[in-house]
Structures are given as structure tokens and as C-alpha cells.
Structure 1
Amino acid sequence: MAALNVVKTPFQTLFAVPMTCDHCVSTISEALYRLGGISKVDANLKDQLVAVEGTAAPSAIVSAIEATGRDAILRGSGASNSAAVCILETYHRNEKGGEALVPASDPEAATGGSGASDREVRGLARMVQVSPTTTLVDLTLRGVAPGLYSASIREYGDLKFGATSTGPVWAGGSGTGQPRGILGTIQIGEDGRGAVFLDHPFQVWEVIGHAMVVSRQAEGIAGAGLTNDENTVVGVIARSAGMWDNDKTVCSCTGKTLWEERKDEVRKGMI
């Protein structure tokens, strides 16, 4: 599932990777240099960190590290306040009653009788701003039906009713007939997986708190009549750590290590 790479501006990313010896360091470094678009790899055995510079998608870097038999967690991208993330989930009506919808990650989705067994995390979008006019978007999906999907940023961050309450495509004060929230398309293969890596003319701070929707529904881009189905995924764009902003190894809320948290998220469907 290699991401289509149309990005030309290099940037830095930092990953936590379990390494036990110098052989681990060399194996990971060699795997990453074989990946197109990598200009520098700095693997630190003591701190269990791998810093990467280049134009390769973070999702492609994670896949390359995982192919060596090791896990990888993205710890930061770009400069402070220049990165964002959006977890994309399916939304369906809560069969226990009430009007609000429940996402896959909500504790209620795991309760008996909630009708939430088909709610899953099915996508992830990572963003990093590399200039005052350019933000890179690394979008991956899995577990959805094959076909061509459209990705868009919406006017609102209201997920009370899933995709239907996110509003029209974000105009972004463009002053033209083309909303700035139209990101592009992603092709999903027969295996239910797809990825795309592209750049877009907005700054990260402009889209924080907005929803992102990825859907096969043509009306999703036209701005009318989105519905919730098993192949429409939605999430709210939130800030994420810059290159050296995140040194957490244990969660202060749960007491779990970052690797224990990683296992929990993978069980929920996290990419």
C-alpha cells in the first residue's frame, strides 16, 4: 500500500522504534534509504528514536520500518504548531436510542446492544505544514469498499450526526468558486486499502477543529446530502506534536507505556 507521492518539499519526522542493537539501527536505516524520497536517517539506539528527513509519506516510512519486523510510532512532524492529525471513523445510528451518533472509538461502541460492532477506525490523515502556503496531507484508508473516494475538509467540526452534521465543504475565504477544502481523491484497491500523499494550499491553524470526510458519495464534494454509511469516514482535525514536542513515554492518565497504548489503538483499527 504505497502512498502516491506528489510532494516535493522535504520535511522532518520523528518515530519511536524498538531497537536492541546496532544491527537494528543499520537494518532500519538501510530499509528507509531504499524508500524513495529519503535524504537523511538518524537512528538513536539509546533513545529508541529514528529521525527522518525527506519527502516520503510518514505512512510509507512506518510501513518500511514494520517490514523489518519492528513497530513504529510517529512522535512528531515539522516545527511546533505545524502538524495535525485526523482519525477517520465510521458513524452509525446508536441503536440503544437517542439522536446522537457514536464513533468507533467511543466507549459506548463497545457496550452490549449498542449496534456498534461495525464501527471501526478506518483511516488516518497526518498533516504537516512545510511553508506559509503549503501543507502536506498523508491520507491512508483500509477496510472500505474498492473504488474512488473524495477527501474534503468541512465547514464544521460537529460530529453529533456523523458526516451529515459537518456542513458543506470548507470555503476557507477563497473568494472563488472552488472551496479550499477539496483535497483530492484516493483510489481504494480490491484489498480495501489505499493511500495518497499530496500538498495543499492552506496553513495548519486554519483547519484545526474542522471535520474531514472521505467518501464515495459524489454529493460529498458537491456539498449536499451526505449520509452515513459503512464506507464514509469522518473525523475532526486536531493538533499533533512537532518534531521534538512529544517526549511522553508513559500516559499520565492511564499509566500505560506508549507501546501499550499503541496495542490498544491497533485493536480499535488504528493504522
Structure 2
Amino acid sequence: MIPSFETTFAVPLHCEDCIKDVSGSLYKLKGIKNVTANLKDQLISVEGNEAPSAIVEAIQSTGRDAIIRGSGKSESAAVCILESHAAHVANKVRGLARMVQVGDKITIVDLSVRGVSPGTYHATVRATGDISEGPESTGPIWDAVKAGKEGTPAKGVFGTVEVGKGGVGTVFLDKPIQIWEMIGRSMVVARQQDGKFDKNDADTLVGVIARSAGVWDNDKTVCSCSGKTVWEERKDMVDKGML
């Protein structure tokens, strides 16, 4: 069983009734243990072992938006924005993977893709973080050579995600790895697990795994670079295809 972890979300909250509405929706999810809210800072903290993407969906079902502000402890979270490198694709961003280390060697992976053709896709972490040529330059599957010699599963094989007719697919899984091992490597989501990839295939996605904020490491409401609120930033990212 996946251990509990804490995740914080920015949510537009106007009164105590807003908090009750959001909390009620979240407690309907099986993996939720505790929900707390900070009305002043517009933050919801959720403890449990439910996928962050499922929590966002539950909050949005109440008519409110939600932005993940942080998850897990400091230095224990990572994120990977998955993009198509096909030249003819307008909205490049088509997937997002959030990773949180919840134990000594247990990391949960919350992967979502959108806007790709229906079918089964393989998610793999590659040996390098070179995405200059899309998936073709990412190298072999991480740990594949060592695992082959020892007869053990490669660390970089994350499993599959099923994409339905609407072009959307999600998967929530756990791996016996640590966050620091993956930082700077790349992730590929494609119909094939390995072999020669084609960067001009719109359904082949790739991104670099980077550190992400821990549960209380990011409480900003206005970006110091652009001066935009988190909600304005959110709209910009959605317009670009971000999940």
C-alpha cells in the first residue's frame, strides 16, 4: 500500500462554505485521510495516498480551479512536462508527470497525457536528459544494461498508460526508486517502449525531469518575474496546452 503524503493546492476560497464544499468533495475519494484549509492564504492541504490529479479533478467538480503548490517533503518531489517535438504540432505540451518520494525507496508517479491518439503508451525514464533531438537523443532506458545482467526489472520502465477515444489517459503508480536518482534524466511516453523513436511523431512525448516544490516550499500568489497572479499564470499555461 502507498504511504500517505501531503499536497498543498491553491484554491479560490471566499468563505467557510467554500471550504466545506471543497472538503466534502475531497472526502469522497477513498485515499483521503485529512483536509485542512487556510482561508487567508487560499490554500488547501490534503493528506492521503490519492493521486494529485484526482484531487484537482475533485476540486474542479465544485466549480473552483486548483493549482498544485507543492507535494511531499523538501527535495522529495519532481515534475516532468511532456511535449511533442513534431514540427507540425501547435500545442507542444501534451503531458505532465508528477513524482513524490513517500518512503526510503518508494516514489509515486502521477502521469497524465492529453491530445494524443487512443491506444497503449509506454512510459520510460531514459539514461540522459538530452532532448535536443526529441526522444531520439535521450539514450537507452535508465538502468537497462545493469538490470539485464542481473535479471531484474530496469528502474526506467514505469509501465503503461491507456489513452481513450477522447485522447486523455492517466495512471498512478509507485516505483522502488528515489527522487534524486531521476533528476536531470528524461522521460519518454510513446507507443513503443524502446528502439528507434521518431521525433516527428506527434504522439511521442518527451521531457526532462526537474525538482519540484515540497509541500510548504511554494506559497507565492504573485510571480516575481512577470507580476502575474498564479491564476493568470495558470490561464497562460492552459492556453499553451498545459494540463
Would you say same fold, with TM above 0.5?
yes
Q: After superposition, give the CA deviation of every residue in 1:207-239 in whole Å (9 maximum; x if it has no partner).
A: 00100000112xxx2x32111211111100000
1:63 paired with 2:53, answer no
- The match for 1:176 is 150
Provide the identity percentage. 58
Normalised to the residue count of structure 1, the TM-score between the two structures is: 0.85
- The match for 2:73 is 79
Normalised to the residue count of structure 2, the TM-score between the two structures is: 0.95
Distance (Å, rounded) in 2 between the aligned partners of 1:263 and 1:211: 26
- The match for 1:103 is none
Choose from 226, 230, 245 the match for 2:197: 226
Choose from 184, 207, 212 the match for 2:187: 212
Could you say what the CA RMSD is over the residues aligned between the two structures, in angstroms? 1.3
- The match for 2:117 is 145
Choose from 51, 64, 81 the match for 2:45: 51
Distance (Å, rounded) in 2 between the aligned partners of 1:252 and 1:19: 23
Choose from 83, 97, 108 the match for 1:125: 97
Choose from 17, 34, 37 the match for 1:23: 17
Distance apart, 1:145 and its partner CA: 0.6
Q: Is the 8 A contact 2:89 2:202 kept in 1?
A: no
Distance apart, 1:116 and its partner CA: 4.9
User: Structure 1: which 4+ aligned runs deviate by more than 3 Å?
Assistant: 172-175
1:189 paired with 2:183, answer no
Distance apart, 1:84 and its partner CA: 0.3
Distance (Å, rounded) in 2 between the aligned partners of 1:43 and 1:169: 41
> For this pair of structures, how many residues does the alignment match?
239
Distance (Å, rounded) in 2 between the aligned partners of 1:28 and 1:189: 28
Alignment-mate amino acid for residue 18 of structure 1: P
1:198 paired with 2:173, answer yes
Q: Is the 8 A contact 2:129 2:184 kept in 1?
A: yes
Structure 2 portions without partners, runs of 5+: none
Alignment-mate amino acid for residue 198 of structure 2: T
Structure 1 portions without partners, runs of 5+: 1-6, 94-114
